Amino acid sequence: MRKAWMAGLLLGVALLGGCGDPTSGADQAPAPEVPRASATTQQQAPASPTAAVKAPTVLYLGDSLAMEAQKVLGTELRRELRAEYTSAPYSGTTPCDYLEGTGKRSLVPDADKAATLVRSLRPDFVALQFWGNAWGYTPCMDGITHDADPRTYFDRYAADLKKLTGQIAAAGGDRRPRIVWVLQGPDPITPDRVRQVNALYEEQADASGDLVADAGRTVSAEQARYTWVRELPCTDYERAHPDYCTAPGRDRTALHRDDDYLHFCLAPTTSTPKPCPVRSPGILRMAREVTRVIRGD
């Protein structure tokens, strides 16, 4: 069993840098292939002259989990909130990649830094989703890894969350956006790491008056928030939308592929990162939770 998990870990590391993750809306056919991850994606809400409440502007940043989920989240936000939506995720990243001043030590180009996009787009919300790159994939972590030095890893991670919050707040000025930290699902290799990373998100949100969306809870078993599972019982929504209840005879739906414990896209990975091209229950579950938090429920 240990050998199987180690094989999964090595695959997970490889997928962080090249995730074939794409996505379609809940009630539409799979989306066609989109441009490379480096292209910021902007989607405008449809006109709604009878709207009584201003639709929010939402910016979504993050790593390969955000890469695979970006189109589904955009679909949910536009349908539920008529949101104007921009996404600029990059696979393999961690919060420090979105900090200004990192230069060539970052996997995110200057044009897509969080503060740069906040200044240009003036969003109401900035949703941030990071697994918590623990393998030293991105150079901005300066070689710090969870495996080698957990305490230094968590200290550095917390410091970067604070810096990123400060840069986003300064860029927003008197129109500071609310940050939505997306909490992550279980990690079968180092379950306590994700628990502590999520705690850091919660602490930072509390300190700065921001929000958390516990999307990870929606892909976790009841009464076992940090125990990894490949499938879960179908929800009422998934039963009503059979494409999302992948094994209706057993009332179960798949969250992960058999060969990928980390991502939620049910399509095979590709060398070029992109949004998930197939309906994937785990992605939709998390996107609906982020949308719910932004809606203010």
81-114: per-residue pLDDT in tens?
A: 999 999 999 999 999 999 999 988 999 999 999 9
Q: Which CATH number goes with the domain that contains 201?
A: 3.40.50.1110
Q: Given a cut of 70, is residue 67 above it in pLDDT?
A: yes
Question: 188 in a domain, yes or no?
Answer: yes
pLDDT at 10 over 50: no
Domain assignment present for 191: yes
Total number of domains in the chain: 1
The upper half-sphere exposure of residue 51, i.e. CA atoms within 13 Å in the direction of its Cβ, equals: 14
What does the mean pLDDT of the chain come to? 87
Query: Could you tell me the pTM of the whole model?
Result: 0.85
What are the b/e assignments for 183-212, b being 16+ CB within 10 Å?
A: bbbbbbbbeebbbbbbebbeebbeebebbb
Is residue 39 situated within a structural domain?
no
3-state secondary structure of 257: coil
pLDDT at 2: 37
pLDDT of residue 39: 46
Instruction: Please report which confidence band the pLDDT of residue 44 belongs to, taking 50, 70 and 90 as the band edges.
Output: low
Q: What is the pLDDT of residue 84?
A: 98
Give the model's pLDDT for residue 1.
Answer: 40
Q: Is residue 286 domain-resident?
A: yes
What pLDDT, in 10s, does the model give residues 184-234?
Answer: 999 999 999 999 999 999 999 999 999 999 999 999 999 999 999 999 999
Model confidence at 5, pLDDT cuts 50, 70, 90, reads very low
Name the residue range of residue 150's domain.
2-28+56-295
